[in-house]
Structure 1
Amino acid sequence: MPFPPTTTVLIAGGGPVGLTLSILLSRYGVDHLLVEARPDTARHPKARGVSARSMEILRRCGLEDEIRGAGLPASQVRFYRGRDLVDPDFVRSGVAHDPAGAEEHTPSPGLICSQDVLEPILLRRARESAAARIRFGTRLLTGAADGGGVSAVLEDLAGGGRHEVRAQWLVGCDGAGSTVRTGAGIGMDGPTGLGHFLSVRFEAPLGAVVADRASASYFLTPPGRGGFMAVDNDRHWIYQYPFDPDRPPGGADLTDRRQLADLVRAAAGLPDLEVTVRDTAFWRMDARLASAYRRGRVLLAGDAAHVVPPTGGHGMNTGIGDADNLAWKLAAVTDGRATTDLLDSYQAERRPVARQVIDLSADNARARAGYRIDDELLLTAAYRSAAIVAAPGAPVRPPVDASGYHPSGEPGCRAPHSRLTGPPGSSSTLDLVGTGFTLITADGTPAWQHRADAAAAAGLPVTVHTLGAGRLREEHPGAFGRLCGVPASGAVLVRPDGHVAWRAAAPPAGPELARVLRSVLTGAAHPARP
C-alpha cells in the first residue's frame, strides 16, 4: 500500500498515547498518518492502570464498555502487602474506587487493563476510522520542520524502502527516547536511575493461591523483594524485581529463564510452583520533563514529553490527557477556526500537570511505608492559559490537587459529573460534551440559545444543552449548577476536552459569547467578567 505524500498531522508512535490521539483526530475529522516501528502492539503488559480521567476520555470515544470488559473486575482493584503470596499475615488495602462510598465524581471509574490488552482495542478503533493511515512496521527517520510544515522521511521496515511525507504538524508520541524530541532539539531535565527493575512476564497457576486475596498488585515486604502485578489474576502475571545493575543477586544470571523461574518461585513462597517465563524487560525508573512541548510545527505528547515514575500509575494516563488536550486544538487550527497561537496553550496547560505528577510519583517512589493509589488525581487537573477565560481575581489552583477531587465549574477545571436520567446514551453531564464547544445551562428561557445563534452567525458554533428541558433531566435536579457555582440562570462553556472555558451567572448582553469563543481560539486577551 503506497504511503500518502501529504497529511495534515503525522503521529510518530503507536502506543496508547499515539493511538488515542489518532482516534480523537478521526473523531474531529482531521486527516493524519500514524507510524509505529513495532510490527504489532505491545506483548509486555507495561502500564496497567487506566485512571478515571482516561476512562472518561475513552468513554467519549465509545470504548468504555470494551475496555471495562477486558480489565480486572472492580472488586480486585486492591493492593496486597505481604512477605510472599502465601503470607498468612498479609494486609489488603482498600478499593481504588468505591461506588458505594462518598459522592460520585465520575461515570467512568478507573480499572486495571494491562497495556498488552489495551493497545489492540485502541488499534482496532483507530483502524476502523483511518485504516490506511495506521502504519505499524514503519519508522520515522527524520522530521525537518520549516515555517509551512514538516518534511519527514519514513522507513518501511517490512517492505523496505524509504518514503517522504509532507505534514502540516508532527506529533512525537514515540516514547522516552523520542526521535521527534531529539530532532527538534528539545531537552529533557530531571533525575534518572531512581531504580532499576527486571520485569518478568510469566504463566503460573496462581488463581487458586490468591483466591482469598485477589488484588491488582502484590507488594512484597522484607525479606521479600519487588512485587507481583496481576494481568488476569489467574495464569498471567508480571514479577517486578528491583536489582542493582552492577551486582546481580548471588551472581544470578537474570537472562537465564530457569533461574528467573526460581526467582519467581522464591518470591511467591511456592518452591514447587509450575512457572513458564514468557519474556522479560529491563527498565530504569526516571523522573524527567521536556523543556518544551512545542517547537514550531513539532509537538510532544506522552513519554516523549514526560517520563513519570510508575509509582502511582499516572504515566500513561498523563499521556492520554495530553492527547485529549491536543487533539481538539489541532482540529481547530487545521480547519481554520483557531490561530496557531492556540497550540501554545497546550504546553501552558499540560506541562504544569506533568511537572506535579512527576513530583508526586517520585515522592511515592521514595516512600518506605507504601503510598496511596489515587484513581481520581487527574480529574483535579486545573488549567490556566489563553484558552481559558477566568474571572478577575479568581484563585489560582494547583495544576493537580493531591488532597483529592473537589468538583468545580471554575474555568480551567474539568466540568463536573452529574448523573442524568435521559435521553438514552447520555447518563452523565460529561456525555453532553461533543466535538465542538458546549454550553450547559438550566435556564429554560431562549436567551442562551439566542447568544449561541449569534456566535454561530459569526462562524463560532456552540451547542446548547438545557438541563431540565424536555427529556434531559438530572437525577438530582440542580446538582450540576451547584457543583459549577452558577445559579439557574447561569451557564458554563465547555471545551471539547471537557474543561470549562468560561462561566457566567446570566446570559450576557450583546455578542459576549462570540467574544469569549474568539478569545479562546485565538489567544487574544478578553476582559473576563464574573
Structure 2
Amino acid sequence: MTESRTPVLVVGGGPVGLTLSCLLSDQGVDHVLVESHPGTSRHPKARGVSARSMEIFRRLGLEKEVRAAGLPAEQVRFYRGRDLVDPDYVRSGPAQEPGEGPEHTPSPGLICSQDTLEPILLRRATELAGARVRFAARLVSFEDDGLGVRAVVEDRVTGRPDRIRADWLVGCDGAGSIVRTGAGIAMEGPTGLGRYLSVRFEAPLGEVVADRASASYFLTVPGRGGFMAVDNDRHWIYQYPLGFDAETDPTDDEFLAGLVRTAAGIPDLDVTVHDTMTWRMDAQLAASYRRSRVLLAGDAAHVVPPTGGHGMNTGIGDADNLAWKLAAVTAGHAGEALLDTYEAERRPLARQVVDISTANATTPAGYRIDDELLLTATYRSAAVIPDPADTGEHEVLDPSGYRPGCRPGQRAPHVRLTPGTAGVTSTLDLLGPGFTLLTADEDPRWQAQAEAVRRAGFPLTLRAVRTAGQQEADPGQWARLLGADHANAALLVRPDGHIAWRGTLPADTRTLPALVGTLNCT
C-alpha cells in the first residue's frame, strides 16, 4: 500500500468540510478532503445561512450564487397557526428587517437548504483542489504519533485502501464523528431533547400559502410539528414530532401523506412522499476541540438544537477560524500553539450557541430568528491583543443585539464604501487573504511599518478606508466606530475578519513585526 502526504486531511464533505476546503485553498494550503458518501446531501436539512456565513461566502466569491439559490428575501418570514389555512395566523419577520436600523453587513442571511448549498460549495472546492476532494472515500482508521497522522482511507467504489500521511487531521464528519471517537474526545451535554420525523414531499401548496409565504410554518396545535419551505411552491419538508417509545418509525407513504394532510388542514391535498429521515435533538459540546494533531469542527465539535438556525453557521465559523491558523502553521509563519487559540475562541462561542438554542426549544411562545447573532462574536485568546483598558468582562456573543465597534477581538465592522469600484463596496472587501493593516486614510508612514512586517516573513496587506477613489457612503462613520480615544488608530485584522490589535503609529519599525509574531505564537 503506497502512502501519500498532505499537510491537512479533512474528513467530511458537508457544508463545514467543504467550506474549510475552499478556505484552505484560498489560503494556499495543500490538503485532501474525503467524504464517505458518493454525493452531496439529498435532504434539505440545515437551511438558514446567517449573515456571518454569507460574509465568508462573499470572501470566497460565492455570495451571488448562494443568494440566487435561496428563497426570496420577502419569504424569510415565520408563520404560526393551527394549520396552513388558519385564517388567524401570525406571520413575523427576522429580528431585524431589511432597511430597519443601521446596515450592519453587506451580506444579509437567507434561507438556502443544505441540499442546494452543498453542490455550490463542492463545485468551488473541486475547482480549487481538483481530485484531492474525494467523495465515496471512507476513513477506516488513523494513528496520531504526535508529529502527524497516518490515516487509512478506503475507496468505496473499488474497495482499494490508501494510506495518507498528514500533518494535521480535521474531523468535520458530523455528530457521530469517527475522528472524534478515534481521538478519544468525549461529548458533554444532554441527548434526546426531542425526536422527529422529517418527511420530504411534493404537493401543490404554492397557491395555498401565496398570501402568507414563509420560510418556516410552526403549527400551534400540540404534536403537529411544522413545515419548512423548500421553494414555497411544490417542494416541502414536514417535521413531525415522534415519541421515544414508538417501536417502529412510520414508513408507509399513505400514512405519511395523511400526516401531511392533517397538519396542512387540507384533507384532499395531493401529496407525493419522496423520502424520510428521523433525527434526535441533542445539545452537546466536545470536551476538547484539539488533541495533539487532531482537530474538530462543525457537528463533530458541537451538536446544536436546530431551534434558531445556528448549528451549521457555527460550524462554518469554525472553518473560517481554523483555516487561516492551519495556513499560518503549515507555512511556518506561526507556531503550533496558534492552533490552541482555535479552541479558546470557538468552544466558548459554541457553548453559548448551544445554550441559546436549547432555551429556544423550550420557549412556548416561540422565538425570533437572529440573523446577526454570530456577528456579535468577540474573541479572547493569545491571537488577540486587547486594548489596555479592556477588562475582558464580556461574553463571546451578545444576544441583546449587534453593536458594531473596533475593539480587538470583534469582527471588523462593515462600512459602506462608494463609488465601490473593482467590487469593493464594504470595508469587509478590503480584508485578507493574510493579515490586513487597515488605516483610515492613506499614510506613507504606515507603508514602512507594513514593509517591516513583510520582511519579517508575515503576509500582510496595507489598506485604507478612504482613498482618492473611494469614500465612506456615510462620511465620518469610520471615525465614529473607532471612537474619540482612537481617532488616529489603525486596525490589524486577521484573515478571518476579526481585529487582532488596535493602535497608533509605532515609533519603531520593529514594533509591529514583533506584535504580529506574538499574535502568531512564534
Residue matched to 1:480? 478
Residue type matched to 1:440 in 2? L
Residue type matched to 1:412 in 2? G
Residue matched to 1:521? 520
Residues in 2 aligned to 1:349 and 1:170: alpha-carbon distance in whole angstroms: 19
**Residues 11-20 or 134-143, more deviating:** 134-143
Q: Decide whether aligned partners of structure 1 residues 425 and 507 sit closer, same or farther in structure 2, where only a CA change above 3 A counts.
A: farther
Q: Decide whether aligned partners of structure 1 residues 458 and 253 sit closer, same or farther in structure 2, where only a CA change above 3 A counts.
A: closer
- 1:458 equivalent to 2:461? Answer no
Residues in 2 aligned to 1:127 and 1:153: alpha-carbon distance in whole angstroms: 22
TM-score normalised over the length of structure 2: 0.97
Q: Decide whether aligned partners of structure 1 residues 4 and 317 sit closer, same or farther in structure 2, where only a CA change above 3 A counts.
A: farther
- Secondary structure (helix, strand or coil) at the match of 2:495 reads coil
Residue matched to 2:296? 300
CA contact (8 A) 1:414 1:498 kept: yes
Residue matched to 2:73? 74
Residues in 2 aligned to 1:78 and 1:334: alpha-carbon distance in whole angstroms: 44
CA contact (8 A) 1:83 1:224 kept: no
- 1:52 equivalent to 2:17? Answer no
User: Could you tell me how far 1:225 is from its partner in structure 2?
Assistant: 1.1
Residue matched to 1:382? 378
- 1:115 equivalent to 2:114? Answer yes
Residues in 1 aligned to 2:507 and 2:367: alpha-carbon distance in whole angstroms: 47
Residue matched to 1:402? 399
Equivalence map 1:124-523=2 (5 Å): 124-223=123-222, 225-247=224-246, 254-396=250-392, 397-421=394-418, 422-485=420-483, 487-522=486-521
CA contact (8 A) 1:466 1:472 kept: no
Residue type matched to 2:454 in 1? A
CA contact (8 A) 1:84 1:224 kept: no
Q: Decide whether aligned partners of structure 1 residues 224 and 294 sit closer, same or farther in structure 2, where only a CA change above 3 A counts.
A: closer
CA contact (8 A) 2:415 2:426 kept: yes
- Secondary structure (helix, strand or coil) at the match of 2:80 reads strand
Q: Decide whether aligned partners of structure 1 residues 253 and 129 sit closer, same or farther in structure 2, where only a CA change above 3 A counts.
A: closer
Q: Identity over aligned residues, as a percent?
A: 66
Residues in 1 aligned to 2:490 and 2:185: alpha-carbon distance in whole angstroms: 40
CA deviations on 1:290-316 (whole Å, 9 max, x unpaired) are 000001110000000000000000000
User: Could you tell me how far 1:4 is from its partner in structure 2?
Assistant: 6.9
Residue matched to 1:528? none
User: Could you tell me how far 1:158 is from its partner in structure 2?
Assistant: 1.1
Q: Decide whether aligned partners of structure 1 residues 508 and 363 sit closer, same or farther in structure 2, where only a CA change above 3 A counts.
A: farther
Gaps of 5+ in 2: none
User: Could you tell me how far 1:461 is from its partner in structure 2?
Assistant: 3.3
User: Could you tell me how far 1:197 is from its partner in structure 2?
Assistant: 0.3
CA contact (8 A) 2:94 2:368 kept: no
Q: Decide whether aligned partners of structure 1 residues 233 and 3 sit closer, same or farther in structure 2, where only a CA change above 3 A counts.
A: farther
CA contact (8 A) 1:75 1:95 kept: no
Residues in 2 aligned to 1:430 and 1:411: alpha-carbon distance in whole angstroms: 16
Residues in 1 aligned to 2:94 and 2:283: alpha-carbon distance in whole angstroms: 27
Residues in 1 aligned to 2:519 and 2:486: alpha-carbon distance in whole angstroms: 24
Residues in 2 aligned to 1:4 and 1:233: alpha-carbon distance in whole angstroms: 49
Gaps of 5+ in 1: 524-530
Residues in 2 aligned to 1:83 and 1:195: alpha-carbon distance in whole angstroms: 21
Residue type matched to 2:145 in 1? D
Residues in 2 aligned to 1:161 and 1:169: alpha-carbon distance in whole angstroms: 23
CA contact (8 A) 1:12 1:140 kept: yes
CA contact (8 A) 1:97 1:109 kept: no
Q: Decide whether aligned partners of structure 1 residues 175 and 224 sit closer, same or farther in structure 2, where only a CA change above 3 A counts.
A: closer
